[in-house]
Structure formats: structure tokens, C-alpha cells
Structure 1
Amino acid sequence: MTYPIIISAIVILTLIIIRLVLIKIIKKYARKFERMEHRTGLIIRYVDFFTIFCTVLGLIMVWGVQIKDLGLVFSSVFAVIGVGFFAQWSILSNITSGIIMFFTFPYKIGDYIKIHDKEYDYEGYIENIKAFQVVLRTNTNAIITYPNAMFMQKGVSIIAFEDIPKPEDPTTETPKEDQFY
């Protein structure tokens, strides 16, 4: 009876070590390529989820749960999840795009960019990069949230500093028509 306990401890310890190594690699990569702490935290959460999933799967195998029983449970759960993700495929694609953008995204917070869209070109400073969207602030101080999946499908240009339009000053008011005498 002590063997499953010892093997369970080994599985948990191994996965904790793998988690720590992966987190160290991600943080080193983030420092090297100047990724923001918030984005690094999102990727670490994904690593945590993966580690917990592998730990539970490993413990189930150690304690001798029959594969055919697990197959029925997992197939039912994945069928429900699959229907949910099919109904909301954009959520899954935005999360996947967010992970890809963490490792290959050439832009960083503070860059002034232009997104070349068919109907309207969006311009602004990258204010934040989240799991589902990129947040832009325009020169008129409007906030635009642009989905990660769309961001990866469109052409994006970094605008040089001297070509950036000057923002409107929110402290100066323009006189209204009835203020003229």
C-alpha cells in the first residue's frame, strides 16, 4: 500500500520541478525580450493549468483507475467542452493568439502602431496586451480593444516617433457656438 503513496509523491515532486523550470525559462525569455510582467503572468497561469492537469492525470494512473472508466468520463467532459468551444471558437483562438503573441510579438507596450484593416485603419499607442485583446489608446484618448486573433490576421505597422500625430489636449476646451458674442 505504500508504493502508490511513494509513487504519488514522486509524480507530484517531478511535476513541481518541471513547473519551476518552465517558469524560470519563461521569466528569462520575458526579461531577454522585454515582455511585460502582466503578459508573463498569463503564460505562467497556462503553465500552472497544464501542470495541474498532468498531476491529476498522473495520480489517476498511479492509483489504478481503469482506463476504460476514465475514457468514458473524459470523452463526456471533452464532448461538452468541445460543443462550448465550437460555439465560442473565437475565445479559443484569442487565447491561442495571445500565447503565440507572447513569444513572437514584435511590438511592446508604448509603441504607436497602425492596424491596416479593410474598412478602417486603427492607430494608437499599445496600452496593454491581455489574454484576449490588445488595448490601444488613440490620440483622442479613446480606448480601442482589438481581438488578438484579428490582430494576428491584419497588417500592423509601427509608426516612427516623428510621424506620430500630436494628441488632442483634453485640458483645453474648444468654445461652443453660443459662447461667441
Structure 2
Amino acid sequence: MFEKIKKMFLGRSSNDLLEAEGESAKKQVRYTMRDGEIVETDSVFGAWTSGDIAQMRAALAEKTNLVDRHFLLMSLVDKTYKQRTDDPELEKLCAEISEQHIQEFPEIKPALVKSLDGILPRVTTFQKYATLLTEQNNFDRAVEVCEVAISHGLHDGTKGGFEGRIERIERKAAKHSA
């Protein structure tokens, strides 16, 4: 990695480096690793790392790599989920983006695994959306979301995993219908 950074500046004079540094400071240039390469971040990266819902929503239509797409969708779900009880519009947006993320996840998953050296991270969209659906008494869809997560090999970070989550949802559904 450091060799790549060296190569970026190889052959430049100290004046060139100072000028480039000044330009970078003006433009707030940021870099990240994607597919083993150091690349300049794009506006989607900036949006999902900003934590700003409006900025993330605006970035939804922008083209980007699948890893940043994943983190944009998951970050937007996380932010709207936290504020769902305060604003019904954010609850609705949380559900919409969750559905979108789940629909796009089969395409995103291989890129995510590749970028993380074969490791599939926890994807909080599935657990948060299952909880939201349960709160809305949409038990069947909540179970489906958990089953999709299981089919992707995901874990929700709890002792029982998504399997235990399904059991809890089914108990709530039984109480609700009784």
C-alpha cells in the first residue's frame, strides 16, 4: 500500500508536492482503498460518511462502486431507523431503502466480500428492517427478511442469530393474533 502512495509522488519536486498539497486542501481530496487500489473518493462516499440524511438521499441516484453503494444504503437505513419514531416520513424512507438494499444485496455481496478479503460483515439493514416490520405487525415479511439474511450467510450479532429472531417474531405474531 505504501509503495502505491510513493509511486503517486515519485518524480515530483518539492514545489510540485506543495502545490498539489495546496490544491488538495482546497478541494478536500480524500482517498480510500477499492479493489486493492488507492482511489479518490466520490460524492457517494462523502454522502455515506457524512451521516446527513439529505446528502445520502441525494446520492442514491449517483453511479458508484458496489462497496460504496452498500455503505450508502446501510448508512441511510441506520440513520432513518434511529429517527423512525420521531418522524413517520423517516420510518417510511427506512422501509423503502431497506427493501432497495435487500433487492440489490445479491449483486453487492460478492464485491463486498472481495473488498474485505473474503469476510462478509454484519449487514445491519436486515436486522433493523425485520425489527421495523415487526413493530408494524408485518410479521410475515419480517420473517422473510430474516430468511433472506440467512440465505446470504449473514448473522445479526445476537446469540440466536436470525434463526432466534424468527422465533421471537413468530411468538409476537401468535400473541398478536390471539
Tell me which interval the TM-score lies in, with the shorter structure as reference length. Answer: under 0.3
Q: TM-score, structure 2 length as denominator? A: 0.22
Q: TM-score, structure 1 length as denominator? A: 0.22
Structure holding more helix per residue: 2
Structure holding more strand per residue: 1
Give the number of the structure with larger relative contact order, counting CA–CA contacts within 8 Å between residues 6 or more apart: 1
